Amino acid sequence: MTTETESRAAPRRCLAIILAAGEGKRMRSALPKVLHKVAGRSMLAHVLDSVNRAGADAVAVVVGPGRDDVAAEARAAAPEARIFVQAERLGTAHAVLAARDALAEGFDDVLVLFADTPLTRPETFVHLRKKLGDGSGIAVLGFEPEDPTGYGRLLTDNEGGLLAIREHKDASPAELAVGACNAGLMALDGKRALDWLARIGNSNAQQEYYLPDAVVMARAEGAACALVMAPAQEVLGVNDRAQLAVAEAEIQRRLRLAAMLGGATLIAPETVFFSFDTVLGSDVLVEPHVVFGPGVTVGDGGVIHSFSHLEGATLAKNVSIGPYARLRPGAKLADKARIGNFVEIKQADIGEGAKVNHLTYIGDASIGARANIGAGVITCNYDGFLKYRTSIGADAFIGSNSALVAPVKIGDGAFVGSGSVVTENVEADALAVARGRQAVLPGWAAAFRKKMAALKPAK
């Protein structure tokens, strides 16, 4: 008797092949195209993240010769990724075949993707795979651009099955009227993909091996070919800086919408810029012109005032930042901490309820709960060679325009007089004043002016 568990279909194993060997000459950059960032993360890493969330069991990344930087980025984003080199650039099918060894392992599904198409959602990859699970040999991703010039047309039968991909230059007037265009991404039956790809020829003007010709191979064997449509902005390929900006605008639109639907208020959403991993708690308020770099988490009830820049910072609940504040990597703020205007925080822990309100630099430091840091205070943490740490205790008060020369410790409840240069530890509840004694000489200014006037040459 077959049990319920035994009757379930075995999960389909998926290989994702990501083509990242393009030179990207139109970017006019020393940096490989696929390493250019969108929302703080490389385009390659975006694609790797999407296929991971789509359930890929293995990833192969095809890079150009000598592109150790692209390979390193792939491994950083997906440590189990296998790297293959396309020694010659002879077309998209040729690029996929660079990962022949991975294809030969007999995965059920093979996704072929491009590292310069960073906006395709995981759900779309899942939809492509579902077509294979339903019996199609190939599933092609299509879209309808406003201007289809230059794109291959997707020709379908009456039931919506894909018959062929016709390149623009080869299409008849009737075929050019078709709105559905090839986005280039596709899924192939993993059991037959290697055979189809290996038989693709290069009898064309460019003498290249084109991936869309796999549809011809599949149809010739009677395999069904399916079409999955996606919005045009989701399949945007980035080839130059202008298209990179379009991709950035689209992902920012998504991130802003997700933040607001998640319970944050963005007063002027179009002026706020997020990174791919920004996390905002509920009832967070973000004022206009705020930039979130990578690695920022803001707890519930936080307020980020205008013109602030945050990167690598962790904010607990009910924290207030800015305006014009800068939080650099390693900034950690406890509940109800306040960071005011023109304050910079770096590699520092700010305790619960502590206040650093204006014109201050706190670097490599620990600030205790409820401590008050006056205007113009700086921690002198660097001697030109090494960094040193400053520790300020709970309920301490640091007077304005003081310089704390690390390494130094200010005890709980201690006071530092304004204008002090503190070079030695201050014990708890003590007062430290470290400045030159003021001297007043009555009449000195008048005498000085008289003296200088006597030295002035006659006109």
CA 38, 122, 151, 202 dihedral sign is positive
| Integer Cα distance of 132 and 142 in angstroms | 16
Cβ contact 176:190 at 8 Å? no
- Among 45, 54, 80, 79, CA closest to 275: 45
- Among 94, 119, 87, CA closest to 236: 119
- Which positions ≥6 away from 294 have C-beta within 8 Å? 40, 41, 275, 276, 277, 311, 312
Q: Which of 36, 94, 289, 358 is catalytic?
A: 358
Beta bridge partners of 365: 348, 390
* 358 included as an active-site residue: yes
- Among 307, 293, 291, 304, CA closest to 264: 304
Which residue, chain included where needed, has tokens 């800068």? 326
| Integer Cα distance of 398 and 32 in angstroms | 48
DSSP 8-state secondary structure symbol assigned to residue 326: E
Which residue, chain included where needed, has tokens 């790809």? 197
- Among 229, 248, 253, 233, CA closest to 40: 248
- Among 340, 328, 335, 428, CA closest to 377: 340
Taking CA 209 as the corner, what is the angle to CA 60 and CA 223, rounded to the nearest 5 degrees? 80
- Count of helices and strands (H, E) across the chain: 11, 33
| Integer Cα distance of 121 and 72 in angstroms | 24
- Which positions ≥6 away from 185 have C-beta within 8 Å? 111, 112, 113, 114, 117, 120, 128, 140, 141, 235
Give the catalytic positions in this structure: 358
